[in-house]
Amino acid sequence: MLNRISTYLYLRPKLVLALLLLPPLIWFLVVYIGSLITLLINSFFSLDSFTGQIVREFTLKTYAKLFDKANLEIFGRTTLMAAVVTIACALLAFPLSYYMARFASPRVKTFLYLAVTLPLWSSYVVRVYSWKLILAQEGIVSWFANLTQLDGILAWYLKLPVVGGSSLAISYTGVFLVFVYIWLPYMIIPIQTALERVPKSLIEASGDLGAKPPQTFWNVILPLAFPGVIAGSIFTFSLTLGDFIVPQLFGKSAYTIGRAVLTFQGTSNNIPLAAAFTMGPILIMMVYLLIARRLGAFDAL
Amino acid sequence: MSEKTAIEFKNVSRIFSVAHKDISGEVRAVDDVSLKIEDGEFFSLLGPSGSGKTTSLRMIAGFDRPTSGQILLYGQDVSNLPPYERDVNTVFQDYALFPHMTVGDNIAYGLMIKKVAKDERNQRVDETLDLVRLTGFADRKPSQLSGGQRQRVALARALINHPKVLLLDEPLGALDLKLRQQMQVELKAIQQRVGITFIFVTHDQEEALTMSDRIAVFNAGKIEQVGSPAEIYEHPQTQFVAGFVGVSNLISGDVAKRITGSEEKFTIRPEKIHLTGADEKAAGDMYFANGKVRDVIYLGLYTRYLVELEGGGDLVVVEQNLKSTSMDVMKAKGQQTRLSWKKEHINRLGG
């Protein structure tokens, strides 16, 4: 019986392919595309401010609200944070990835792989809260600053506009540090993979043709690793854009996109506005990918 | 050929330390090698894999450094110079073309690094593309080219810099036989045109014989013999060279004594042996041996016979099928035969 089924399927490779692809396709269509379309439809509805009921009629009113000054500030603030976090992640990840890909012995590489991914094994919330202990007023950083007589510098830093705050645990600096911490593995792995795929002979060829190591880096290594940087930055950028926990725990009162969406759909039941807000990051990511393509990020693929 | 020496190895050794689970120790990849390569030569480093030929090439390029000894490039000690400070260029085995650049940018890379003006760069790229017969390919990407075309781009990228010495690391290895033979002829022609010293690494003895002015035969980290293709083929100085370059019959001991009257080892090429029709009148100039044809292999252009000698040992004999058909040659199988060859065709190995 099994034999006959095997033979039947063996002779019909297209049927096998269809059977294999059916479950992921259904999942993709219903869950991914379906939820996106629901979002899109909802974003064209509006909330009756008098009754608090959702009016299921096509309107652009909700989108118009996005252009309120306060809402534009939310987009600007979140995008800026995502950009700064992404750049910091890339700067931190590149040297480590480079070391892992080109110099580390197999044993050291395995160890580093584990070390980089180990934090992902534990809960996100727990790890974020542990940063509270590090950054809080009576936390490890303050303790260390007192110990090393650097508390003056810390106090001076916290008085600075924008980056400062009542303590590191409630400041943009805190938000930034925690974001960089939690998203860093998502940047290291793709860059490391991209660097690993650069053949050693290309680096030798560049030197052979007269390029000093920094020239080889700019002309050969970086362009070839760039798709990895872009892949990593898609993670760090979009994850930062949508996150609502870190800004809630470490941020001041000012909203970010994630917090705004949470509030609109949860507290104020304004699902149309929440939906319209969510279209923001999608649009921002599209623009980001277009720019990345312009920069030649996908040329070497 | 001028008298200048392009590359000189002075007692060069490269020792790799090996640390593995159960073995640890050292590998003498290149073992006390001394060698002179003259200006303008097409010089081949020939040997089996692991014989030290590629390591030698990498030390000339600067990718590797000698553990001891000196490497001179036109009299200058370059042993410890990085690749970018040596006036040599390499054609890599895997071509190593930059995948994110066009063919033109790949070829112009060395000039771009040297900050040559764009106009001159473009002009020289076009000239070099003409030289390797890839005119009009400047705007393609390496991924759009065939293996043979990539090979030419790699060659152009190295040649455009007018290096003092061009290094080629088994560059034809990945090509099919027809293309390889065509490229052999072409490479030799290009070398003669540009007059640059070519150092060519290969494990293919036919390739080395076809193109080289001189050949160094490597074995186990040492050079067994240096000489012109004819010298290497006709007068191999060691048993290894005799066996590695072409096919040789090695005869020693009692069998040698029966044939030549001396126990001295010697080699004889299969094509120098006559299978039948021994000219007994010219006996003074000839050696003779009796045997039985054990196997006949018909190969179109020629036939290979395996002859079992009286007194032990096998000889390979090759004869061209000038007048015989496959039917004719097969009749020899199992027959007794009297082999003969000219005395001057044997190559004594001594001891």
> pLDDT truncated to tens, each residue of chain A (301 aa)?
889 999 999 999 999 999 999 999 999 999 889 999 998 998 999 888 788 788 888 888 889 988 999 999 999 999 999 999 999 999 999 999 999 999 999 999 999 999 999 888 888 889 999 999 899 888 889 889 888 988 888 889 988 888 888 888 889 999 999 999 999 999 999 999 999 999 999 999 999 999 999 999 999 999 999 889 999 999 999 999 989 999 988 988 888 888 888 888 887 788 899 999 888 888 999 998 898 888 767 765 5
State whether B95 and B209 are in the same domain.
yes
| Residues in chain A within 8 Å Cβ distance of B157 | 209
> Could you give the CA distance from residue A70 to residue A90 in angstroms, rounded to a whole number?
30
Q: At what angle do helices A172-196 and A124-135 cross, to 10 degrees?
A: 130
**What is the per-residue pLDDT across B96-154, written as a single tens digit (0 to 9) for each?**
999 999 999 999 999 999 999 999 999 999 999 999 999 999 999 999 999 889 999 99
Collapse the DSSP code of A5 into the 3-class scheme (helix H, G, I; strand E, B; otherwise coil) and give the result.
helix
The residues, ordered by sequence, that sit 6+ positions from A88 with a Cβ below 8 Å of its Cβ are A176, A180
ipTM of the complex: 0.85
Q: Cβ A296–B100 below 8 Å, yes or no?
A: yes
A225 contacts chain B (CB < 8 A): no
Residues B180 and B272 placed together within one structural domain of the fold: no
Distance separating alpha carbons of residues A254 and A252, to the nearest angstrom? 6
What's the domain count of chain B? 2
Classify residue B19: in a domain, yes or no.
Answer: yes
Domain C-terminal end among B204, B236, B268: B236
Q: Which residues of A touch B93 (CB under 8 A)?
A: 201
Q: Are residues B143 and B268 in the same domain?
A: no
| Structural domain contains residue B186 | yes
Mutate one of A209, A219, A298, A301 to test the B interface: name it (highest B CB count within 10 A): A209
Nearest to B113 among A209, A224, A299 (CB): A209
CATH number of the domain enclosing B317: 2.40.50.140
Same domain, B119 and B9: yes
Contact across the interface for B89 and A202, Cβ inside 8 Å: no
| CATH at residue B54 | 3.40.50.300
Is B241 inside any structural domain?
Answer: no
Residue B136 and residue B213 share a domain? yes
Q: From chain A, pick out residues whose CB is under 8 angstroms from the CB of B92.
A: 201, 204-205
d(CA B206, CA B132): 23
User: Of B188, B210, B236, which closes a domain?
Assistant: B236
Chain pair A-B, CB pairs under 8 angstroms: 63
* pLDDT at site A198: 93
In a shared domain, residues B29 and B161: yes
Sort out which chain B residues have CB atoms less than 8 A from A215's CB and list them: 113
Shortest Cα distance, chain A CAs vs residue B272, angstroms: 44
What single DSSP character describes residue B283?
G
| List of chain A residues whose C-beta atoms are within 8 Å of the C-beta of residue B90 | 204-205, 208
Question: Residues for chain A: how many in total?
Answer: 301
Q: What is the CATH number of domain A70-294?
A: 1.10.3720.10
Q: Which residue among B188, B215, B236 closes a domain?
A: B236
Write the residue in B83, B96, B158 that is nearest to A201 by C-beta: B96
Residues of chain A in contact with residue B98, where contact means CB-CB under 8 angstroms, are: 202, 205-206, 219-220
Kindly state whether residues B163 and B17 are assigned to the same domain: yes
- Do B258 and B210 fall into the same domain? no
B109 and B144 housed in the same domain: yes
Residue B309 inside a domain? The answer is yes
Taking CB atoms and an 8 Å limit, are A204 and B114 in contact across chains? no
Domain residue ranges of chain A, discontinuous segments joined by +: 1-31, 70-294
Range of the structural domain that residue B317 is part of: 249-348
Strand partners, B196: none
Whether B329 and B265 map to the same domain: the answer is yes
In a domain, B242, yes or no: no
Same domain, yes or no, for B175 and B254?
A: no
